[in-house]
Amino acid sequence: MFKKDNKLNQWLWKWHFIAGVISLPFVILLAITGGIYLFKDTYEAPKQAHIKVVTVEGEAMSYQEQWQLAKPSLHKAPNTMEVPTEANQATAFTSGMFSHKNSVYVNPYKGEVTGRISPKDSDMNTVRKLHGELLLGKFGTKIVELIASWLFVLIITGIYVFWPGKKEGIKGFFRVRFKQGKRILFRDLHTVFGFWISVLLLMTLAGGMPWTDVFGSSFKWVQGVTNTGFPKTWDARGLKSNVDGNAISLDEMVKLAKAMDLKGEVSIGLPKDENGVYSIFNTTFDLGAQKRFHFDQYSGKQLVNHNWEDVGILMRGRMWFMAFHQGQFGTWNWVLMITVAVLLAFIAIAALISYLKRKPDKKWGTPKVPSQFKAGYGVMGFIVLLGIVFPLFGASVLVIALVEFFRKRTKKEQALI
């Protein structure tokens, strides 16, 4: 235990309060939508079964023929094909990436397209957009980024303010007072549960920040400058096949991909044109097992291959936290994220109830700070650092500081009148 500075504690409590007022209503929404989105695969599987699952009957047509069959069903030529792992699995051909991704599924026995799936048309995509941009497009994305930035402040200041003093000791980390009124009860529930999941909340936030506009763009820029992102040829950029004779069939590449026995979902990158290359890669959240191979589409010669170790440190960290954020490391991770979502919503609601119980009529009830108190250089330096790392947070602090400055100035002028 350490002795806290009471004046600093009051000052941090004030900023914790401000951060809470700014973020709590949104935090509840983000926690609920994030928790719902974790059920995406379970929700969509039965709805998509009639497209993805086929009846095994007769002999399957070649992958080369299926490729040709899929092309007219997509607006753009397919760039990847997922290698089926079961006999009753329709073959998926995909064009585009992220929000522009479209997949068509081919029944290899009947030689027909079973259907088309685009993530942007699903119910869960609406949930994702509500979670990531409040259904407000780019403007909403920036609001969510601002809220997430303030959440870092909320958590860090909350840990300091909650930290028990010497008199309370270890018991202070677990104390919930049930008999001192609802305000105290909900305050204790908020602080105790909030403290014990604070590290998990910081990790979850770290996993969400790469999707943001301002911070995300800055992070990518740093990756580029420090050369700590993906290798340039990770996605076959800059690689070309030597046009010579007939191209290797897709069936030969599938046979090679199966022989590699790669972990997870295996896909084949399809040549875009006569100079394009074939790629074989796997998608697995055992990140260390991810591999990529690129081949000349005529000779079959391997042009380059990459392991996870070839990926820069910042990109590896980014991908790990993003996967953690989505609960994709297995059952333990999924259960952990569900728990975090439920507890985050609970502690936010508990804080709101506690605040409403103590809030004076017609006032915000902002905690008072001794007028003579001035934050030290270390604290101010930390705020400046946060403002640089999270630019929208920095901009909002400047706005708050200006409002506070003019409010005090107006009070002084009125006092002189």
What ranges do the domains of the chain cover? 6-38+126-221+329-405
- The H or E element spanning position 112 is strand 112-117
HSE-CB at 390 with a 13 A cutoff on CA atoms is 24
| Mean pLDDT within 323-351 | 96
Checking if the pLDDT of 417 tops 70, the result is no
Mean pLDDT estimate for the chain: 92
pLDDT of residue 365: 81
d(CA 375, CA 100): 48
How is 294-323 classified by DSSP, letter by letter?
A: EEETTT--EEEEEEGGGS-HHHHHHHHHHH
HSE-CB at 355 with a 13 A cutoff on CA atoms is 22
pLDDT of residue 374: 80
Checking if the pLDDT of 351 tops 90, the result is yes
| Mean pLDDT within 15-42 | 93
| Mean pLDDT within 359-372 | 80
- Binned at pLDDT 50, 70 and 90, residue 2 comes out as low
Kindly report, residue by residue over 366-383, the tens digit of the pLDDT. Answer: 888 877 778 888 888 989
pLDDT of residue 3: 65
pLDDT of residue 371: 73
pLDDT of residue 169: 80
Checking if the pLDDT of 41 tops 90, the result is yes
